[in-house]
Every structure is written in C-alpha cells, then in structure tokens.
C-alpha cells in the first residue's frame, strides 16, 4: 500500500485563507492518499530566527508539501522548507519573491508570470466541487456587506432581491447574510417573502453554503462577495450578481467585469432586461491545480489520471 503524502497545512486563522488550502487538500485527496497536519501559527508563531536557525518548532512527521495562504504564513513556510526539505506551495500572490517558493498558485487577476512553477487560476481556490444534480426549484442568495472596494445601498439591495423572488415564485429560496452584512439589512429582509428562508451568518453551521450550492439551480450573490461568486460558479449553477456601489476600481472588480463580459455571470441589470441567467462552463480549479501539482511531484501519471 502506498504511504500517504504528508502535507502541512499552515493557517493564520483567517477562514478565507484556510478555505483555499482546504480546497487544494480535498482535491489532492480525490487523487491519492494524503495525511494532512494542520498547524495553527497563532498558537505556534514562527519568525526570522527560525529561518536563520533552519528550525521549525515542534516535532511533526516530515512533509512532502507545505501549504499556506495569506502573508502571515510566508515566513513559516520558508522555515518549514529549510528545516524539513518539504516543497512549499503558496496560494495567492505572495509578498515575498516568487522564486522563494517551490510552487505558486495565484489568481489570473494578479497577472501570474509565465514560469514553470507558477499556475494561474480563475479566482482563489475553494473546497466546492461541481454539483452532480442541481434542482431548478431551489435558489440561494448570499449577501456580503460594505468592504474596501464596495459600499452598501440597502434600499437597492432589497429592491433587487424582491424582484428576483417575485420572478421565481415556484423556487424555494435560502438567503444568508454574512459577518459584513449590516444588522439592519437582516432585520429588513427576514420576512422578505413566504417562499424564502432567511438565515443570519451566526445561524448557518460550517459547510452550510457548500451544501446549499450542491442543490441550488440558481444563485444570486452580492458583488462584493468575490469568494462566494467563485464558489457558486464552481458548483455549476446559474449565477447572478446583485449590484452594490463600487468605491474603487481595481483588479478584483475588473475580474468580475470580465466574467460578466464572458457571460459566466449575469448582472442584475442584464437579467432585468432579458430574464435570462447565463451558465458558466463547468470547472473546478482546485481539481486542476491538484492534478498539475501532483504531476509536477511525479505522483500522477497519464495512466493514473
């Protein structure tokens, strides 16, 4: 029996970052046996001295791969590599030179260079997989909130939601807010329609969104929730974008605009005019990255794929 691939999953405690490494780990697990060791860097800080001394605190099984997402994991990844020889896999554009890492996985909107150890992806990785059978009578709405690049117009948001709900009276809707959603917005929408169940962020257990995405034939996401947009696209449903005021234009908003142009997403404005939600091509970036990474490591062959 082949020994499992030992993977260190370094986490800075931020759910969005851990979500990315978890997506890649689950995708690798679908291909080969994997032993994952989760290391919380908040409880076990690693710094410059550890790099200089080529040490990593604590005694874990030596890794083949060391995964990290978020700037807070970068120094620890380098320390782990120097201490153990494990190859580093950094997700998202690192704050340190790309050449310091063995593998770099970064979104296309960060303009990844054409280098053998760098791979560009549509959005950041996530643990969602394409749904085997979506239901036309199930819908999902995911709300974000104010952010550095988006404001929040509650009146407009509620108006857009009511229009979608009114146009789909035979669909059973699940609606969830997030930690960024203003409390007043939740109070305003909690009884928005008889065929909609509204959940606050604190009411939804871990994995709830993933479960809902495996059923919802159509999904509407507020534009500020970029990670939720890519998770929804990965699941394979028709995805609409609830518009929010933009405070700035940057590479993230440009990426969303490109998806709208490609008709992978449908803006609320376009849907109002046509009544049609576009469907993106089926894809799962975590699976694609896992396949590439394991082939680079010599752990997959064409025959085994």
Among all chains, which residue has been given the structure tokens 């990965």? 234
Per-residue pLDDT of 84-104, as tens digits, reads 999 999 999 999 999 999 999
**Six-digit token string for 217:** 């034939």
* Inside any domain, residue 246: yes
Per-residue pLDDT of 223-251, as tens digits, reads 999 999 999 999 999 999 999 999 999 99
pLDDT of residue 305 exceeding 60: no
* Inside any domain, residue 183: yes
Give the residues across from 10 on adjacent strands. 39, 68
Please report the pLDDT score of residue 302 as a whole number.
60
* Inside any domain, residue 302: no
Other beta carbons within 10 Å of 248: 9
**Are 54 and 179 part of one and the same domain?**
no
Domain containing residue 42: 5-127+285-296
Per-residue pLDDT of 284-304, as tens digits, reads 999 999 999 999 999 987 644
Give the residues across from 91 on adjacent strands. 69, 105
Domain count, the chain: 2
Q: How far apart are CA 145 and CA 161, in angstroms?
A: 14
Q: How far apart are CA 245 and CA 256, in angstroms?
A: 14
**Are 140 and 104 part of one and the same domain?**
no
* Inside any domain, residue 190: yes
**Are 257 and 292 part of one and the same domain?**
no
**Are 122 and 141 part of one and the same domain?**
no
**Are 64 and 150 part of one and the same domain?**
no
Please report the pLDDT score of residue 59 as a whole number.
84
Q: Report the predicted TM-score, pTM, of the whole model to 2 decimal places.
A: 0.90
> Which CATH number is 254's domain given?
3.40.50.2000
**Are 85 and 167 part of one and the same domain?**
no
> Each residue of 111-145: b (16+ CB within 10 Å) or e?
ebeeeeebbbbbbbbbbbbbbeebeeebbbbbbbb
Q: Kindly report the average pLDDT of the chain as a whole number.
A: 94
> Which CATH number is 49's domain given?
3.40.50
């Amino acid at each position: 029996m082949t020994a499992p691939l030992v993977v260190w999953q370094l986490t800075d405690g931020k759910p969005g970052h851990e979500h990315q490494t978890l997506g890649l780990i689950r995708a690798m697990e679908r291909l080969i046996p994997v032993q994952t060791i989760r290391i919380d860097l908040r409880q076990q800080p690693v710094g410059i001295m550890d790099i200089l001394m080529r040490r990593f605190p604590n005694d874990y099984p030596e890794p083949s791969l060391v995964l990290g997402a978020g700037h807070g994991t970068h120094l620890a990844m380098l320390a782990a590599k120097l201490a153990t020889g494990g190859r580093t896999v950094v997700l998202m554009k690192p704050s340190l030179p790309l050449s310091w890492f063995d593998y770099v996985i970064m979104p296309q909107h960060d303009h990844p260079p054409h280098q053998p150890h760098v791979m560009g992806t549509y959005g950041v990785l996530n643990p969602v997989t394409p749904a085997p059978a979506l239901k036309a009578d199930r819908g999902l709405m995911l709300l974000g909130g104010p952010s550095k690049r988006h404001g929040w117009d509650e009146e407009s948001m509620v108006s857009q939601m009511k229009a979608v709900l009114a146009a789909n009276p035979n669909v059973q809707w699940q609606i969830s807010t997030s930690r960024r959603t203003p409390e007043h917005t939740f109070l305003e929408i909690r009884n928005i329609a008889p065929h909609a169940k509204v959940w606050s962020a604190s009411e939804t257990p871990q994995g709830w969104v993933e479960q809902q995405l495996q059923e919802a034939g159509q999904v509407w996401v507020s534009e500020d929730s970029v990670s939720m947009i890519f998770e929804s696209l990965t699941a394979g449903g028709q995805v609409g974008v609830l518009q929010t005021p933009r405070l700035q234009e940057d590479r993230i908003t440009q990426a969303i605009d490109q998806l709208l142009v490609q008709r992978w997403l449908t803006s609320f404005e376009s849907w109002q005019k046509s009544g049609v939600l576009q469907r993106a091509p089926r894809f799962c970036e975590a699976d694609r990255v896992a396949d590439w990474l394991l082939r680079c490591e010599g752990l997959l062959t064409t025959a085994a794929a």
